[in-house]
């Protein structure tokens, strides 16, 4: 009987690998609880300020978050698909030209449609729910990446965990952090990219490739996480770390989503043509350079501010190099910066394109972790309040983010 009981217990027990994975996940989650709680507080404050400000102007915060600008295109696709009888009329009404829906990648609309079917939520509310959940998943992924990066530098003295928490706070308190709560793709893409990057750092190549592929049907910025998977894979092959076949399979899987969507549109040339209708082509920063020069010659104060913004972004990238961040992390940040600054999109979209580049904040998080807690708390409180106010002003403005 005893032998039978032992055999039954062994059969019911989880495999060692699965049990270890579960313990690691629970351990990570328990360590990240303070960061996630603070993240919720920061974003809740931003939403509260927006609600009060919008109410004072007689406007609906719900409509601002769920049914404006890009959100409308995603809900159209969720409700009707890409080629429905009224899509051309809708495109011209919104000033986007023919085939404009094809500029928007399908994962968010698919999730909106799935939630609508399962729960009866409106497509707009489903988009808000996706963003809310994805923002928390992204925050946890950001914490996981930062903890692993800082663990290599700070050892087990607790500084790395504190810096990882501060990185999550900094990402939440970005001036345009309100986008994380909108029915946009920023939170969803950042969640996929952060966890793919974490999988790269852990050598889980198939997971990294799959998440990168999903990112590829979320935003064209997936080029950044694809680059991270490729760079990490090249380093692993050179060092003979892990299974070469898994590394290669992950590297091949990573661009599948992005290339697959471009092929469905009609090929890379057709996809670039679609983006051209929106004025979102890629010219390596030529259009942005002309805009910057125009600002410097017509409005020097604004031009200097733009130069300072570019300088700050480039400094953050260089600081990451000086910090000796892992090569996949640096590759991810570098491509995010190139995509954001090299795109023809108008200036207001640059901060939005940079939002998934959370590793750019790693040097600042490390610096704050070394400050006295009171000073760091004061700095973050000021930043959080400024972010809440700026987010409300920005979203209540006339131009799309």
Radius of gyration of the chain (CA): 22
**108: enclosing H helix or E strand:** helix 107-119
CA pair distance 122, 128, nearest whole angstrom: 10
pLDDT of 229 > 80? The answer is yes
Per the CB < 8 A criterion, the answer to whether 318 and 360 are in contact is no
Closest CA to 211 of 253, 249, 244: 253
pLDDT bracket for residue 286 (50, 70, 90): confident
* pLDDT tens track for 144-172: 999 999 886 655 456 788 999 999 999 99
* pLDDT tens track for 336-380: 999 988 877 666 678 888 999 999 999 999 999 988 889 999 999
For position 155, what pLDDT does the model report?
53
* pLDDT tens track for 71-118: 988 998 999 888 765 555 555 445 445 557 888 999 999 999 999 999
CA pair distance 32, 26, nearest whole angstrom: 10
């Amino acid at each position: 009987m005893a032998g039978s009981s032992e055999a039954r217990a062994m059969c019911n027990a989880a495999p060692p690998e699965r049990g270890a994975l579960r313990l690691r996940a629970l351990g990570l989650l328990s360590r990240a609880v303070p960061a996630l709680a603070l993240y919720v507080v920061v974003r809740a404050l931003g939403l509260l300020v927006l609600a009060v400000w919008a109410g004072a102007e007689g406007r609906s915060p719900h409509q601002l978050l769920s049914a404006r600008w890009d959100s409308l295109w995603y809900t159209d696709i969720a409700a009707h698909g890409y080629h429905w009888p009224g899509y051309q009329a809708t495109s011209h009404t919104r000033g986007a030209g023919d085939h404009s829906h094809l500029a928007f990648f399908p994962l968010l609309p698919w999730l909106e449609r799935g939630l609508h079917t399962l729960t009866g939520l409106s497509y707009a509310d489903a988009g808000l729910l996706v963003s809310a959940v994805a923002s928390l998943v992204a925050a946890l992924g950001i914490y996981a990446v930062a903890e692993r990066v800082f663990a290599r530098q700070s050892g087990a003295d607790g500084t790395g965990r504190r810096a990882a928490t501060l990185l999550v706070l900094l990402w939440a308190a970005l001036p345009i952090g309100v986008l994380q709560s909108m029915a946009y793709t920023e939170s969803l893409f950042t969640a996929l990219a952060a966890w793919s990057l974490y999988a790269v750092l852990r050598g889980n190549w198939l997971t990294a490739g799959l998440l990168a592929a999903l990112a590829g049907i979320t935003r064209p910025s997936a080029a950044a996480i694809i680059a991270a998977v490729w760079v990490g894979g090249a380093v692993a092959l050179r060092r003979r770390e892990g299974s070469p076949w898994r590394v290669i399979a992950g590297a091949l899987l990573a661009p599948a989503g992005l290339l697959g969507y471009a092929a469905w549109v009609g090929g890379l040339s057709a996809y670039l043509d679609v983006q051209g209708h929106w004025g979102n082509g890629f010219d390596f920063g030529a259009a942005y350079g002309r805009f910057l020069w125009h600002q410097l010659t017509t409005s020097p104060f604004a031009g200097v501010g733009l130069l300072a913004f570019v300088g700050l972004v480039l400094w953050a990238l260089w600081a990451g190099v000086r910090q000796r961040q892992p090569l996949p992390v640096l590759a991810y940040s570098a491509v995010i910066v190139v995509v954001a600054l090299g795109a023809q999109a108008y200036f207001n979209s640059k901060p939005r394109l940079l939002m998934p580049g959370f590793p750019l904040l790693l040097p600042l998080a490390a610096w704050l972790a070394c400050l006295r807690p009171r000073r760091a708390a004061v700095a973050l409180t000021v930043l959080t309040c400024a972010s809440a106010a700026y987010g409300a002003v920005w979203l209540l403005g006339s131009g799309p983010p």
